[in-house]
């Protein structure tokens, strides 16, 4: 199959056409026609409400960890306390982000089912007449559907399987809640069945065979949480299928090339969300994190939002020699003449009559500040190149799976099978990533250090929550502000336990389906009978 849609290939500068359902007179006889059919299912990941949405899937993976915190800066970014609750693991069943995460995942499965239903309508129900191209198209749509189910599994645990594509009468489709293990087994079976039918080519932005292996590796990597039994050998085997598969994936010599505005078809990226500043919008990470004063520094057409930053403890995990430390902005913000910019906060009670030098600090003093005194606190994220003159959306593609992660996953599997310590093979895998950052190679490595290395390498790429859970570091949340209230006063963290490893089923889902869902453990509010 060809790339899934026009803007998942090299044609990101072109405006994608809008296609209706394919008919019998216009069925896919070419890869391009199938691309048109499946485009909408991939498009679920782009847009302001897509994968990198700051109030949905990405925020659930990042705001809840030590990688991201959003201080309230005066009246900005309080958002009814939602970002603080996400960071402190005190969310409730009807939290905005939790609602949006569910809608995102199951909106994606529904669009995949539409593709599969259209194929049946076009090709007929006699599967013995399907040609190779048809089966490849079915496999691609099912693999993408498995991806969306994986997101739902990881976030909510006991969810539903949305695979009804045959029933024409929607009233015959019965919604059922499955256990986390059953969802795991469904995804595994789907991927294993699809892999032989998927194209073995490297097609940027499409669900091809190596992408399916990457997704399956992620499933196996976290199998103990999902299904109760570790699958380190299976995860390592999937990684090997990519490493030794002849696909041409390699580490880019320059870490930051992977995140440039010209990163389309970068050889390290296995599966990306392909963004385009004009048409395929949705990568706004530069916009949400940069301070207002950075508008002039980067020639941005609209002011940044001065929101999410990282915690000082996470920033300090980077050695000064680590080239990756440059993905964080800390220090004086300089104008064209090299002078520190002076910023007027509008609050006469602080600084020099309301004016403060624009100096970004790694330390965040507190997460609720009515004075705007902390307007410059928190290291800002610039891994994705802040393209000069850009508006809201960046042109940089967002890698969901990349080769560095595959190397680190295999190394982790080897370490898990070796009592938590790295053998020679594991060291060699990790050192490929570690030395690229300009650091001396590891001579020994334990799991705690591997977790830190994953954090440094994959920061803000949507993996941290999943990693912290797998390493047993998430529920306890031993990072800044996890044991303090909005005003910085100490609070009892004893209410936290491992129930926070999954989110509650959204209230609206339970209300719309009375008697179907049992609320996840630890969330006693929002159940619907």
Do 382 and 327 contact (CB within 8 A), yes or no?
A: yes
Do 504 and 96 contact (CB within 8 A), yes or no?
A: no
**Quick check: is 253 in a domain?**
yes
Three-state helix/strand/coil letters over 254-291: CHHHHHCCCCCCCCCEEEEECCCCCCCCCCCHHHHHCC
Give the separation between CA 371 and CA 71, rounded to whole angstroms. 12
pLDDT at residue 486, as a whole number: 66
Give the separation between CA 234 and CA 216, rounded to whole angstroms. 9
pLDDT at residue 13, as a whole number: 31
Residues 6+ apart with CB under 8 A from 295: 302, 303, 304
Q: How many domains does the chain have?
A: 1
Q: 358-369 b/e with 16+ CB inside 10 Å = b?
A: bebebebebbbb
**Quick check: is 11 in a domain?**
yes
pLDDT at residue 133, as a whole number: 86
- Apex 264 CA angle, 284 and 31, nearest 5: 115
pLDDT at residue 8, as a whole number: 32
Give the separation between CA 338 and CA 328, rounded to whole angstroms. 19
**Quick check: is 189 in a domain?**
yes
Token pair of 285 as six digits: 């990470």
- Terminus-to-terminus CA distance in the chain, angstroms? 45
Q: How many CB atoms lie within 10 A of CB 53?
A: 20
Pairing of strands 368-369, 72-73: parallel
**Quick check: is 241 in a domain?**
yes
**Quick check: is 329 in a domain?**
no
**Quick check: is 321 in a domain?**
no
Place of tokens 């004075």: 371
- pTM for the structure as a whole: 0.91
Place of tokens 């019965």: 174
**Quick check: is 457 in a domain?**
yes
Give the separation between CA 449 and CA 445, rounded to whole angstroms. 6
pLDDT at residue 37, as a whole number: 85
**Quick check: is 371 in a domain?**
no
Torsion of the alpha carbons at 186, 188, 193 and 197, rounded to the nearest 10 = 120
What angle do helix axes 232-243 and 209-221 make, rounded to 10 degrees?
Answer: 160
| CATH code of the domain covering residue 443 | 1.25.40.390
User: What range defines the domain where residue 426 resides?
Assistant: 6-278+399-497
Question: What averages of pLDDT result for each successive group of 10 residues across the chain (529 residues)?
Answer: 32 30 47 78 90 92 96 91 92 90 95 90 86 91 97 97 65 80 97 96 94 98 98 98 97 97 96 88 91 94 94 98 98 95 92 95 93 94 90 90 98 98 98 98 98 98 98 92 77 76 95 93 61
Q: 149-172 b/e with 16+ CB inside 10 Å = b?
A: bbbbbbbbbbbbbbbbbeeeeeee
C-alpha Rg value of the chain to the nearest Å: 23
């Amino acid at each position: 199959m060809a790339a899934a849609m026009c803007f998942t290939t090299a044609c990101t500068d072109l405006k994608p056409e809008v296609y209706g359902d394919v008919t019998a007179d216009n069925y896919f006889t070419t890869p391009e026609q199938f691309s048109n059919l499946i485009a909408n299912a991939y498009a679920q990941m782009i847009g302001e409400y897509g994968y990198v949405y700051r109030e949905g899937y990405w925020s659930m993976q990042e705001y809840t960890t030590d990688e991201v915190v959003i201080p309230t800066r005066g009246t900005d970014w309080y958002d009814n306390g939602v970002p603080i609750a996400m960071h402190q693991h005190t969310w409730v069943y009807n939290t905005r982000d939790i609602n949006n995460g569910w809608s995102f995942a199951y909106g994606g499965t529904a669009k995949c089912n539409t593709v599969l239903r259209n194929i049946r309508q076009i090709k007929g129900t006699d599967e013995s007449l399907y040609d190779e191209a048809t089966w490849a198209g079915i496999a691609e749509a099912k693999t993408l559907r498995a991806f969306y189910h994986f997101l739902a599994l990881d976030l909510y645990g006991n969810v539903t399987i949305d695979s009804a594509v045959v029933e024409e009468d929607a009233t015959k489709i019965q919604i059922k809640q499955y256990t986390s293990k059953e969802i795991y087994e469904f995804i595994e079976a789907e991927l294993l069945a699809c892999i032989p039918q998927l194209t073995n080519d490297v097609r940027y932005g499409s669900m091809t065979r190596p992408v399916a292996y990457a997704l399956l590796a992620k499933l196996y990597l976290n199998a103990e949480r999902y299904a109760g039994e570790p699958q380190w050998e299976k995860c390592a085997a999937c990684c090997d299928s990519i490493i030794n598969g002849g696909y041409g994936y390699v580490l880019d010599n320059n870490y930051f090339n992977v995140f440039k505005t010209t990163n389309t078809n970068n050889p390290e990226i296995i599966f990306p969300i392909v963004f385009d500043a004009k048409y395929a919008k949705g990568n706004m990470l530069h916009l949400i994190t940069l301070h207002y004063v950075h508008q002039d520094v980067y020639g941005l057409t609209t002011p940044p939002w001065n929101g999410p930053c990282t915690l000082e403890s996470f920033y300090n995990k980077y050695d000064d020699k680590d080239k990756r430390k440059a993905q964080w902005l800390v220090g004086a913000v300089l104008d064209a003449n090299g002078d520190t910019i002076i910023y007027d906060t509008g609050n006469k009670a602080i600084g020099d009559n309301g004016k403060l030098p624009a100096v970004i600090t790694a330390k965040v003093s507190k997460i609720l500040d009515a004075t705007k005194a902390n307007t410059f606190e928190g290291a800002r994220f610039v891994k994705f190149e802040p393209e000069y003159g850009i508006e809201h959306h960046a042109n940089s593609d967002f890698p969901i799976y990349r080769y560095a992660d595959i190397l680190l996953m295999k190394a982790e599997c080897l370490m898990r099978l070796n009592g938590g310590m790295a053998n020679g093979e594991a060291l060699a895998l990790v050192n490929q990533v570690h030395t690229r950052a300009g650091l001396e190679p590891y001579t020994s490595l334990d799991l705690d250090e591997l977790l830190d290395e994953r954090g440094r390498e994959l920061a803000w790429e949507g993996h941290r929550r999943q990693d912290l859970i797998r390493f047993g570091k998430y529920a306890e949340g031993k990072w800044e502000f996890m044991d303090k209230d909005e005003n910085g006063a100490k609070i009892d963290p004893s209410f936290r336990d491992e129930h926070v490893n999954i989110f509650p089923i959204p209230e609206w889902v339970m209300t719309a389906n009375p008697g179907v869902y049992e609320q996840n453990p630890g969330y006693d509010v929002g159940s619907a009978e």
